[in-house]
Chain A
Amino acid sequence: MTTITDPPKEQFRLSMLIYDTRYRSMTIQVVALIGFMLLAAWLINNTIQNLTELGKPVEFGFLVEPSSYDINQRLLEYTSRDTHLRASFLGLLNTLVVAVLGCITATVVGVLVGVLRLSNNWLIGRIMTVYVEMFRNVPVLLWIVLAMAILIESLPAPRAFRGEDATATMNLNDTVAVTNRGIYIPEPLFSRSLGDVHIFGQSSLRFDISLDLIAILIVLGASVFAMRRVAARANAVQEATGDRPTIWYIELGILFIPMIALLVALGFHLGYPELKGFNFKGGTHLRNSLIALWLALSLYTAAFIAEIVRGGILAISSGQTEAAAALGLRPGKIMRLVILPQALRVIIPPMISNYLNLTKNSSLAIAVGYMDITGTLGGITMNQTGRELECILMLMLCYLAISLSISAVMNWYNERVKLVER
């Protein structure tokens, strides 16, 4: 008894693309997309044509020419005879250094400030508010320049450390020198070093990986793994018997003894900075351009992170705190064990954009002469070769890649935190 007839087959007419609501939005999108692509094509075509007419066709050959300039902060060996590509690579590493340092510091400071801002202590709460408002509302460039100016003007020049009537002295038992050219700290050295592995031969992207570092990481990883196993066993014992065996000395032993043995085997010692000639030699030199940039970027971003953290905490209903308190937990533990883990869900997504902002803001480095990728590829290389288009395109690509990587990592972390939630 099925008398259902097929609905009359509608003939598709072209006008339906506009009048039929089923297709209309599609049509508009396709037209907009074509328009956008045409505009883009016109722009690209125009640019290439104009550059060619100008006698500057788009080409990347300049990247393998010698750069002819020096870079002060070098994480890898580099001379002015190396290529522009290598100079850019060193710049990229410098960008990553300040971005990583900045993100870590900003997170630590931001979480601290965000939590303290909610403190019941009136004075602490107010101080944190002042901090947040001050840093949030002044452009970061000014903070960077200010930090640099303070470092340069208030600290002694290396000259002041010299001679009989030296007006400045080194700190911490003569191991650290604080000068207006930066801070010199002891550096780790290995007298029985395992050497380096060279990667990528002689190319511009070649770099060395220290085998000492790898050894240290492996031992550290193994120790942590062993510690986990011990803790898991302790948990099992506790489950079974109700008594938790004391394991802290075992844990400490597992962590430190293999590491110390390894360091002794490698001949670990510290190299101290020493005033020689115009400057301190030896030790690790944290240039004041790095310090200024790092400080300013992380304090600035920390102000935003603090607000995010505060918002995240406030988003957790106060019943949670009360319930935790009723269980007898102390305020510190309530925060650490109950509130923060839940707040993380709210906190992490906006945190990603702050990390991205910090990384992108690091391109202001040239204001203090920090040789990041904007300073090398987008600065000196671009200026000396006149390849604006090529350099800017590569620069954008680099920042895009960095930003996408940060996003990917943070999104992965976000997923993990979300899964824990029940």
Chain B
Amino acid sequence: MKKSVFLGALTIAGLAAGAVAAGTLDDVKARGKLNCGVSTGLVGFAAPDANGEWTGFDVTVCRAVAAAVLNDASAVEFVPTTGKTRFTALASGEVDMLARNTTWTFSRDVDLKFEFVGVNYYDGQGFMVPKDLGVSSAKELDGATVCIQTGTTTELNLADFFRSNNISYEPVPIETNAEAQQQYLAGACDVYTTDASGLAATRATFESPGDHVLLPEIISKEPLGPLVRHGDNEWGDVVRWTLNAMITAEELGVTSANMGELAAGTNNPEINRLLGTEGTLGEMLGLDAEWAQRVLAVGGNYGEIFEKNIGESTPIGLARGLNAQWTDGGLLYSPPFR
């Protein structure tokens, strides 16, 4: 036992030592590879495809950062993390950033010492049940057995929701989405609850998605976004503006199709500043002038990435909803590039 106490202390000391190191941008450049924490597998958001290539909405954020910093969208080491392991992975320096359906909350920001650089998906917690259960509202779930992923906000919201509605439930805590799916399909739980986008993505992989319904209640706000460690503002800026570049590009109508043409120079100064033909924004970030062009070359602008990975034309079929541009009545609103 003495030995394991000792080793435990060593790990924690190492963890703490890693955490205070700043200069992630330089580290990544020196390493030539970005370590990016993603889910263990959630189709549409982050999952390896048939060839073992990681693809998805969150994965594209990682690739875009790698493209901006390293000029190579494939220079990413994807580190699968569960709801439980993700924060330790980030805090210990095992990954440089997390892009993994992670909700921006007060305590994660302030107490756990992370910096959320923005929101790439406005979500909320939902419930999925088999259709033949005949349930039409979450308030009818008294006594139900509910599968949840541990270490998530989901777990806490669920406790609050059932408590405030004065109904009981039996939680079945589970580590990964894949296990939750298995238990849910086997009927070991009546309900699966997580972020609504995650439910849609999970359902899309079922053999007969039509047999399962999402209940109308959305019981929480889950702004999901990429995050980095507290205290390394240069690195935080790089990730933040990579995300903003994708969002601004959509707002300005810059797509992967017309980018080459626009990069030659346009009459719109903001497009020029974004694409680096005018001003020195890239330099201010510690990158070169074409950084945003490379970001957009990865998968296009925010809208294109959304449509390709999780949009209505995909099996996941998520509508833009809150995630439309502010000009279309949504919440996406990037600060200006100037």
Contacts and interface: CB of A to CB of B under 8 A. Distances in A.
Interface in B3-52: 4-6, 8-10, 12-13, 15-17, 19-20
A375 interface: yes
Nearest to B153: A384
B190 A278 contact: yes
A339 B10 CA distance: 48
Given A46-B16, A50-B16, A403-B1, A159 B187 contact: yes
Nearest to B186: A152
B156 A278 contact: no
Contacts of B182: 152
A50 B230 CA distance: 14
B20 A181 contact: no
B155 A386 contact: no
Given A69-B156, A278-B144, A279-B170, A366 B186 contact: no
Contacts of A277: 142-144
A181 B113 contact: no
A329 to B, nearest CB: 44
A380 B186 contact: no
A47 B20 contact: no
A407 to B, nearest CB: 11
A37 B185 CA distance: 54
Given A152-B182, A278-B143, A396 B159 contact: no
A54 B151 contact: no
A353 interface: no
B84 A383 contact: yes
A152 B150 contact: no
Contacts of B175: 366-367
A180 B184 CA distance: 11
A389 B173 CA distance: 23
Contact of B111 (A68, A281, A386): A386
B331 interface: no
Contacts of A278: 141, 143-145, 190
Interface in B91-138: 91, 107-108, 111-113, 133
Contacts of B156: 68-69, 384
A56 B113 contact: yes
Contacts of B16: 46-47, 50-51, 54, 389
Contact of B151 (A72, A153, A379, A403): A379
Interface in A375-412: 375, 379-380, 383-386, 388-389, 392, 396, 399-400, 403
A281 B88 CA distance: 39
B172 interface: yes
A53 interface: yes
Interface in A327-383: 366-367, 369, 371, 375, 379-380, 383
A414 interface: no
A47 B145 contact: no
Nearest to A400: B1
Interface string B150-163: 11000110111011
Contact of B150 (A46, A379, A396, A400): A379
Nearest to B142: A277
A277 B10 CA distance: 50
Given A50-B20, A68-B160, A389-B12, A369 B151 contact: no
A159 B83 CA distance: 30
A181 B169 CA distance: 13
B130 to A, nearest CB: 8
Contact of B172 (A47, A72, A160, A276): A72
B188 A152 contact: yes
A386 B112 contact: yes
B167 to A, nearest CB: 10
B145 A279 contact: yes
A281 B170 CA distance: 12
B20 to A, nearest CB: 5
Contacts of B142: 277
Contact of A80 (B9, B91, B163, B188): B163
A79 B168 CA distance: 11
Contact of B19 (A54, A160, A385): A54
Interface string A272-290: 0000111101000000110
Nearest to B83: A383
A223 B230 CA distance: 66
Contacts of A71: 171
B113 A68 contact: no
A288 to B, nearest CB: 7
A174 interface: no
B173 A369 contact: yes
- Which of A51, A70, A386 has the most C-beta atoms of chain B within 10 angstroms of its own C-beta? A70
A379 B170 CA distance: 18
A158 B187 CA distance: 8
Given A69-B155, A386-B87, 16 more contacts: A47-B9, A50-B16, A51-B16, A69-B159, A70-B159, A72-B173, A157-B187, A160-B187, A279-B145, A279-B170, A288-B188, A369-B150, A375-B173, A383-B83, A384-B156, A386-B113
17 contacts: A46-B16, A54-B20, A69-B156, A152-B182, A152-B188, A158-B187, A277-B144, A279-B144, A369-B174, A375-B150, A380-B151, A380-B155, A384-B156, A386-B108, A386-B113, A388-B12, A396-B8
Interface of A: 40, 43-44, 46-47, 50-51, 53-56, 68-72, 79-81, 152-153, 157-160, 180-181, 276-279, 281, 288-289, 366-367, 369, 371, 375, 379-380, 383-386, 388-389, 392, 396, 399-400, 403
3 shortest interchain CB distances as A-B pairs: A157-B187, A50-B16, A80-B159
